[in-house]
Structure 1
């Protein structure tokens, strides 16, 4: 049987997902655990091992040649460590060697979740064929990755494009990253929900206080819910405009769980972007929804694995892993 599969891990503050992925980006087998984000390092790693255990115990595992990881960041691809802002138990955690041990020494490639999303969207999604793009993950946190001159650009440590920790409010709230007024502190799902609750929004009978519940209320016209998404969109627009001014992107691709709010998010985002992106070389920057959906992290991690480590420094060329 051909050795034509790679294993992919998508690690975030809410979930740890895994899959076996073929050369066309199709997910053949899935596994998932909730992230015990507030627990100690070994408890979080046990959840990763549980996902890996489901994959390695499957019959198709014999066809796997490499493992790719897209993780909430910051990551250090050169050292193989991760320090996710929303997983405080992992600080300089040696994720790559730990995963390599669990998979029998197969090659393991690490990228940030935003870079993974950029790789996925450039391979199969809304950034396919784009020369210059910013791809954003708006979820429990806010991450990002860049496509520059037709290539996924991850930077030396795998964090380039991390828009979530651009400061857009000099007097804003402290961020767990150590900064203040970061995009993530305003635009992430938990931030949207927290702001809505603080300003008087109340959940329905089911008690759901998630950003998805706020989005549903906004679709029904609840003014507090609408205002919370408006503020998130403004922060995202400011970060996108700043990125466009630095590297002249053509488009911003927005994915992650919060993007499923649809026009409640995208309509004010486009409006605010017109207000911030006013210079001649950035005013035509477009915003589009991601196409790879909740599988973006897995598809992008698989793309990085197929690049054999070059995914953190080189390219997804011509819309396909080279």
Structure 2
């Protein structure tokens, strides 16, 4: 039931290493990362979003074992996870809207049991993007950063005054569920007209199909939509303009 994991391996690092995990609605990516933020090895596997909780957990566990082995099985200093939400924070019990397999799944507890003695942190994936970009990416040297993820869903995270802002529930900066079209399409969260319901990849594709976009591939994605927009397809371009606005 599980597709083979794929990835690449690099040189083993001497600095303390951590397992870094990104759990999304479409894929799970994992890496061994050194203390300077360099990737030692990385792999990814499809998110088995419609399977049972334990099937998805096993796919994650197998991925972590494989990427750790790729890196030469160095001692680990911790495990960090960015996961699509919502979740209870900081407990790390996750119920991702786009991953029906997990509802109130105790992700942080299960990882702590698997890696006893190691610190395990689980946060919103877009918050992790904001922190990573502030540390090593586009926001480096800036005191104030809004990081955004636009993928299967839409999320966000905030760094203000050089510090991560968590908010009471860990969702500060989560722009995906700000209502941008009060009479807009329904959102998986139960609301209507959220940014995620307008600008996420699947939402873009759905809107364009309803207005006459007919790609050759019945399983075409937002990447195909973007390619058609670049080629001048009127509906595809309109979909991207609407999402950008």
TM-score of the aligned structures, taking structure 1 as reference length? 0.69
**Preserved CA contact (<8 Å) 2:90 2:123:** no
Work out which of the residue numbers 232, 235, 241 in structure 2 matches 1:221.
Answer: 232
Does residue 26 of the first structure (1) align with residue 38 of the second (2)? Answer: yes
Question: Residue 90 of structure 1 corresponds to which residue in structure 2?
Answer: 102
Question: Residue 222 of structure 2 corresponds to which residue in structure 1?
Answer: 211
Work out which of the residue numbers 13, 20, 44 in structure 1 matches 2:25.
Answer: 13
SS at match of 1:8: strand
Higher strand proportion (structure 1 or 2): 2
SS at match of 1:209: coil
SS at match of 2:241: helix
After superposition, residues 114-133 of structure 1 pair within 5 angstroms as: 114-133=126-145
TM-score of the aligned structures, taking structure 2 as reference length? 0.89
Work out which of the residue numbers 178, 185, 201 in structure 2 matches 1:166.
Answer: 178
**Preserved CA contact (<8 Å) 2:92 2:123:** no
| Greater Cα offset, 126-135 or 115-124 | 126-135
| Unaligned residue ranges in structure 1 (runs of 5+) | 235-322
d(CA) in 1 for partners of 2:150, 2:66? 28
Higher helix proportion (structure 1 or 2): 1
How far residue 130 of structure 1 moved from its aligned partner, in angstroms, is 1.8
Does residue 197 of the first structure (1) align with residue 209 of the second (2)? Answer: yes
Work out which of the residue numbers 230, 247, 257 in structure 1 matches 2:241.
Answer: 230
Give the CA RMSD over aligned residues: 1.7
d(CA) in 2 for partners of 1:145, 1:172? 24
d(CA) in 2 for partners of 1:186, 1:58? 39
Task: Determine which structure has greater relative contact order: mean sequence separation of CA pairs < 8 Å that are 6+ residues apart, divided by chain length.
Answer: 1
After superposition, residues 245-284 of structure 1 pair within 5 angstroms as: none
| Greater Cα offset, 135-144 or 166-175 | 166-175
| Unaligned residue ranges in structure 2 (runs of 5+) | 1-12
d(CA) in 2 for partners of 1:13, 1:59? 26
Does residue 157 of the first structure (1) align with residue 159 of the second (2)? Answer: no
d(CA) in 1 for partners of 2:14, 2:37? 16
